[in-house]
């Protein structure tokens, strides 16, 4: 007689996978450096970031625009300047999702070990 089936592992609710824009924003090493610089130095302007990074101000501005569309930075206009700050919630949600995904795989592998090991 075979053992009873195990319950399916629990994880985040359906539809809680992070958006593709978040993965795309984090896929580029320069963008990650820009995000890290904003997190460490913010609120900060694109010009100030470009002075500290090995890329042009225009490149920094493009990276910031993509990070902003992914929800990873927020922009606040003050006169002629736009200052950027890091937003941590998308990264927190990504970490939670990755933890749940890892736990589901661990549960699956453990069931395979018990069944075939």
Q: How far is CA 55 from the centre of its chain?
A: 22
pLDDT value, residue 4: 40
Query: What is the number of other CB atoms lying within 10 angstroms of the CB of residue 37?
Result: 19
**pTM of the full structure:** 0.77
Question: Per-residue pLDDT tens for 102-116?
Answer: 999 988 999 999 988
Question: Per-residue pLDDT tens for 85-98?
Answer: 999 999 999 999 99
Closest CA to 90 of 80, 98, 81: 98
Give the 3-state secondary structure of 64-91.
Answer: HHHHHHCCCEEEEEECCEEEEEECCHHH
């Amino acid at each position: 007689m075979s053992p009873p089936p195990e319950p399916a592992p629990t994880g985040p609710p359906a539809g809680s996978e992070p958006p593709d824009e978040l993965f795309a924003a984090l896929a580029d090493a320069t963008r990650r450096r820009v995000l890290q610089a904003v997190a460490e130095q913010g609120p900060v302007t694109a010009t100030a970031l470009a002075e500290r990074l090995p890329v042009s101000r225009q490149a920094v501005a493009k990276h910031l625009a993509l990070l902003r569309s992914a929800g990873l930075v927020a922009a606040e206009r003050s006169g002629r300047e736009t200052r950027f700050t890091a937003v941590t919630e998308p990264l927190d949600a990504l970490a939670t999702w990755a933890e749940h995904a890892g736990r589901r795989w661990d549960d699956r592998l453990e069931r395979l070990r018990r069944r075939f090991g």
